[in-house]
Every structure is written in C-alpha cells, then in structure tokens.
A = this chain, B = another copy of it.
C-alpha cells in the first residue's frame, strides 16, 4: 500500500482486504480528503501506513488524529504500535504462508490473543468513548481493522469487552464504513456489503 500525495488528488495504491490500507482509508475519510484508488493485489506490505498517517496529520491537521497533550499522544502511538507493530505483522499473509496451511489458524489466533490481552488492559486505563479519551485518534484507525482480522481468524472476543465496545462504537461512524474492505473498488462481488 502506498499513498502518492500529488495535487490535486492523491492516489492510494490499495488492497481492499489489507488492514494497513484500511487504516489509511479511514484517515483519508476522517480528514475529508478526496483520493483516487488504484487497486493492487499486494500480498506483503510493511508498517509504512503509520508514516502515511503521521504525514497526513502534519500536512492536513484538521480534524486531528493525535491529541494535543504529549502524554495522550504517547498513549495513542503506544496503542497504534502495539497493533501495527506487535500484532498485525505476525498474522499478515506472507507470514502465514511461511507458517504453513495447517498451522495458520493457531498461529494467527495466538498472535492476536496475546496482543489483545495487553491491549484490553491498556485500554481500560486510556479509553473513553474511543481508544484514548473521547476523540477518534490514530489508535482507533488501527483498532477496527485488527478486530476485523480477529473475527476472520475466529478469535473469541468475549475476554475483551473494552476492545469490543470501542470497535462497535467506531463502526457506526461514516469514515469507518466508507473505508471498509467490503466497499472498495477491488472488493470481489461475493464479499461486498
């Protein structure tokens, strides 16, 4: 996934299912930035989406995706890093291929539950309506795609009431809906909603 920030309209090279692409799509939607999507069937992508989001935040600061207070910003980045650097890389497609068909589900579930155990605990002290307080932040952009992955890998979410509650609240927002994998130009018909 790659954002080409040309004027007048940025181009997002995106893969409908990629949680990394989804995070950036949410940011673009929240900031009301019009963009063109060029679908690429990308099996592997790195963590560069956070660099894109920080870039968008610096060049298009409204609405803000990072709180003004440095401690709260650190909380947002800590949660984002935990998801985008601690959970997602372990269950992305290229790693699962290497793990082998028969071990994929167990491997992914272990990566996600181990990360969610830490995340649920952190959120209990940082969350308001959303991951950090009552404003949508970069942490929320990371949360929703990761919960969707958890559901795809049939992770039991009962032990994570805070994660589940915030996810549900966020999915009701338009920016999270228009950016959803089931509504992208490259979404196959059978996965559309």
A74→B51 contact, CB < 8 A: yes
B47→A84 contact, CB < 8 A: yes
Q: How distant is A3 from chain B, measured CB to nearest CB, in Å?
A: 9
Within 8 Å by CB of A95, from B58, B75, B81, B90, lies B90
For residue A59, which residue of chain B has the nearest CB? B70
Q: How distant is A92 from chain B, measured CB to nearest CB, in Å?
A: 9
Interface string of A68-88 (1 = CB under 8 A from B): 001101110110111011101
Q: How distant is A76 from chain B, measured CB to nearest CB, in Å?
A: 8
Which positions 13-60 of chain A face chain B at CB distance < 8 Å? 44, 46-52, 54-55, 58-59
Dominant SS at the A interface? helix
Inside 8 A of A78's CB, which chain B residues have their CB?
A: 48, 51
For residue A78, which residue of chain B has the nearest CB? B51
Inside 8 A of A70's CB, which chain B residues have their CB?
A: 55, 58-59
Question: In whole angstroms, how far apart are the Cα atoms of A107 and B90 in the complex?
Answer: 13
Interface centre among A50, A55, A81, A90 (most CB of B within 10 A): A81
Given contacts A70-B59, A90-B95, contact A46 B77 (CB under 8 A): no
